[in-house]
Each structure stands twice: as C-alpha cells, then as structure tokens.
Structure 1
Amino acid sequence: MGYAAIIFDLDNTLLNFELCERQAILGALEACGIYLDLHGINETTFIQVYETYNSKYWKQRETFSPGELIEMSYGSTLAQLDIKTNQISNLSQSFWHIFNHSAVMEPDVNEVLTVLARNYRLAVITNGFVSAQLPRMQAAGIDHFFEEIVVSEAIGFAKPSPEIFHHALSKLDLTPAEVLYVGDSLTHDYAGAMQVNIDFCYYNRRNQNLIQEVQPKFIISELLKLVTLFN
C-alpha cells in the first residue's frame, strides 16, 4: 500500500481516556479528603454527573483555562450532589496533576508501536492541551516512538479541521497518499482524514455498527491487527 508514515490519534486510540480520567476524578477526591461513601454516593454516580457537566464546560475551552474548566465541573457536580467543600481549587489542581501522569494504555500499544516503527515513520495528531497530552505520552513511555506530535492547542486548529492534518503532513514533508491515519472517532478522525484524502483506519474499539455512508479504508477492533496488516 506504499505508506511512508502512520499517524495515530491519542485518546482512546493509544491511551484509554476514560480510565485516565476516572483515575483523576476519583484520585483528586481522595487527595482532598472527600469520601463519597460518607455522603451515600457511589463512584459511578459521581462520575456520570461529573462527565455531564464536564462535556458541557469543555465546549468553552477557548474561553477558560483547563484549571478553570475542571473547577467548574467539580463545583457543579458537588453542588448537584449536595457535597459541601471549600476544596474546589485543590480538587482542580489534584485532578490535573493525576491526569497528566495517568498512563493507562489501550491493549498492545507498546508492541504495535515497536513493530511498526521498524518500517514506518510514526506521528500523532491529537485534540487537547499541550500541557496534558505531551506529559501523558511521556508517562506512558511512548513519546519516543513519534517523529511529530501535533496538538490542536499548539497550532490553533482541532480535528476534524483539515488544517491540523495539513500541518502534520507539512511537518513530515509527505503527501496524503503516503499516510495512513488511525483513530477511534468517526466525528473527528474519520471526518478529518476524509477531507484531506488520507486513508483512514477505524479503531472500532467498541465494535459499533457503521452506517453505509461511512467507509473507512480499514476497520480493526484491536490495535494488534495493525501488525498483521502493515508489517
């Protein structure tokens, strides 16, 4: 197929975002001495409420800093669950520290990258903040595999914007035909890759059914399949 480089998404492709976030949400509560069982609340309920607010607030990430957004998420969650505390600022700081050092990877990531790096140039295109994405890759010990790591905050464009893909191609000095992009999101990864005519490999980690209009070049349910496809 003649690819010179394979570019990966980060969250829920190489790193398991949900588990990293869960560690940070609950770890920050523990670090600040807030114990859910004393309030008759289980972890699942707290996380569900937190994520509802978090998804809403993070749409304002161009207006607020990560720390402010996390404070807003904790503040609204604790208020709804009637948990009173003066630790909102400390919760935000603890969350950010734990999250940026969380290194829960998807299965077989190290093996896959080790094998692919022998024959392909590797890179990452990820939405998010530089202060989060790079330390998390370092904590996971995978940053050294990648020639380029393109983070949306750093260049001012986020997936599925074609600009972030063009930026990566420019840094690699490659054409779209020479690149394969691997990601888990049809909304951000597939849509973005299609706009710039980059072949897309859909990491269908939850075995979701696709509508007929969505036709990735490749579909895998586990990353290890990349080794058999491209080695």
Structure 2
Amino acid sequence: MLYEAIIFDLDNTLLNFELCERQAILGALEDCRISLDLNGISEKIFLQAFETYNFQNWRQRETFSPNELIKMSYRSTLAQLDIQTDQISNLSQSFWQIFNHLGVMEPDVNEVLTVLAGNYRLAVITNEFVSAQLPRMQAAGIEHFFEAVVISEAIGFAKPSPEIFHYALSRLNLTSAKVLYVGDSLKHDYAGATQVKMDFCYYNKKNQNLPQEAKPKFMISELLNLLELFN
C-alpha cells in the first residue's frame, strides 16, 4: 500500500465522544450543586434523557450556538424529570467549559499515532466547532501528531461534503490515491471519502453489521489493528 498520509476522524475514532459528553453533563450538575439523588433520579436515567435531547438539538447547530444548544438540552431534560432549578444558563456554560477541556481517548491512540507518525503524514478531518475540537485535542496531548487539522466550522463545509475532503488534500498537497481515511461513521466518513475516491478504513468498534452497499477498503475493531495493516 503506497499511502503517504493517513487522515483520521476525531470523535469516536481518536477521542471518545460519549465519555467526554457524560463527564461534562454530570460535571455541570455538580458545579451547579444540583443533586440527582435528592431528586430521586439515577445518573443513568438523566444521561439517557439528556443524550436523547442533545442528539436532536445538535442537528440545529447551524442555527444556534453551542451554548444555546446545551441550554435547550438541559431545559428539556430537567423538565422531563421534573427537576426544578434556575441554573439553566450556568449549567450550559459549565458543560461547555468542561467538555472543551476533556481529552478522553479511544484505546491505544497514543501508541498507534506514535508508530504511524514515523512513516506517514497524519491529519484530521472533523465536524463541529473549532472552540471544542482543538482544545480537546490539546487536552488529550495528540495535536502535535498532525500536519493538518481541518474543522468544518472553520471552512464552511462538513462531512460528508466532498469539499472538506478536497480541502484537506490541498493542505497536504496529495491526491486521494495517496491517502487513507480512518473513521467510525459510514454516513459521514465513508460517504465523504468515497465521493473523492479515497480509500476508507472503517473503525467498527461495536462490530456492527454493514449494509450491503457499504464496502470499505479495510475494517478494524481496534485501532491497534491499523498497525497490523501496515506491517
């Protein structure tokens, strides 16, 4: 395989988005002194409700700011669970502050990046906000591995749009044939890479069945498997 560069997705490929989100959700409650125990609510119930609303609200990220989206998620969750508070704005601010400085990584990220960086140019393509993604990479201590970090908010195009992939290729001054893309989403990562004829490695950590039409070049269940591909 004559790849010169490997481009990674960020959330749920290098960083564990779910764990970062959950730590921020609960951390904000603690900061604002809202006790789930006193309200008779388990952490599991609160997290399930919040994550459902947050997933729905985040689809409106082109209309609302991150702070507004998080505020909407807390307001809906607290209303559903009948928890009374006047701390909605403080919860949102605390969540965003905590989340933006959490760098919880997927297993073996440092080892994999250290080995690959010795032989390949590395880059990242990620959707979402610059104010979140860059600090989280810094918190994880991995930003130095990457020659280019392309974030959708900064360039005005998001995966699976081919424009964001073309932009990353231009930053690297490489053709798609010389690059492998690694990501966890068939909808965003695979679809985008396919449009620009870039080989795709599916990080299928949950070992989900692939739809018949999905045919990634490679599929791995652990990031360490990447090293096996290149030995």
Using structure 2 for the length normalisation, give the TM-score. 0.99
Matches within 5 A, 1:98-117: 98-117=98-117
Per-residue deviation, 1:83: 0.6
Match of 1:138 in 2: 138
In the alignment, the residues of structure 1 paired with residue 58 and residue 209 of structure 2 have an alpha-carbon distance, to the nearest angstrom, of 28
Per-residue deviation, 1:212: 2.1
Match of 1:75 in 2: 75
Q: CA offsets per residue over residues 159-205 of structure 1, 9 Å max, x none?
A: 00101000000111000000000000001000110000000000001
Q: Which runs of 5+ in 1 are unaligned?
A: none
Matches within 5 A, 1:42-191: 42-191=42-191
In the alignment, the residues of structure 2 paired with residue 230 and residue 113 of structure 1 have an alpha-carbon distance, to the nearest angstrom, of 13
Per-residue deviation, 1:115: 0.2
Per-residue deviation, 1:148: 0.3
In the alignment, the residues of structure 1 paired with residue 28 and residue 174 of structure 2 have an alpha-carbon distance, to the nearest angstrom, of 42
Match of 1:31 in 2: 31
Q: Say whether 1:20 aligns with 2:20.
A: yes
Per-residue deviation, 1:211: 2.1
Per-residue deviation, 1:62: 0.9
In the alignment, the residues of structure 2 paired with residue 58 and residue 218 of structure 1 have an alpha-carbon distance, to the nearest angstrom, of 30
Q: Which runs of 5+ in 2 are unaligned?
A: none
Matches within 5 A, 1:1-16: 1-16=1-16
In the alignment, the residues of structure 1 paired with residue 230 and residue 31 of structure 2 have an alpha-carbon distance, to the nearest angstrom, of 44
| Secondary structure at 2:106 match in 1 | coil
In the alignment, the residues of structure 2 paired with residue 130 and residue 230 of structure 1 have an alpha-carbon distance, to the nearest angstrom, of 31
In the alignment, the residues of structure 2 paired with residue 121 and residue 105 of structure 1 have an alpha-carbon distance, to the nearest angstrom, of 20
In the alignment, the residues of structure 2 paired with residue 214 and residue 55 of structure 1 have an alpha-carbon distance, to the nearest angstrom, of 24
Per-residue deviation, 1:52: 1.4
In the alignment, the residues of structure 2 paired with residue 62 and residue 98 of structure 1 have an alpha-carbon distance, to the nearest angstrom, of 22
The amino acid that maps onto 2:128 is G
% identical equivalent positions:
79
Match of 1:209 in 2: 209
Q: CA offsets per residue over residues 73-107 of structure 1, 9 Å max, x none?
A: 10111011111111111101110111011111000
How much is the aligned-residue C-alpha RMSD, in angstroms?
0.7
| Secondary structure at 2:200 match in 1 | strand
The amino acid that maps onto 1:114 is T
Match of 1:40 in 2: 40
Per-residue deviation, 1:209: 1.0
The amino acid that maps onto 1:211 is P
Using structure 1 for the length normalisation, give the TM-score. 0.99
Aligned residues: 231
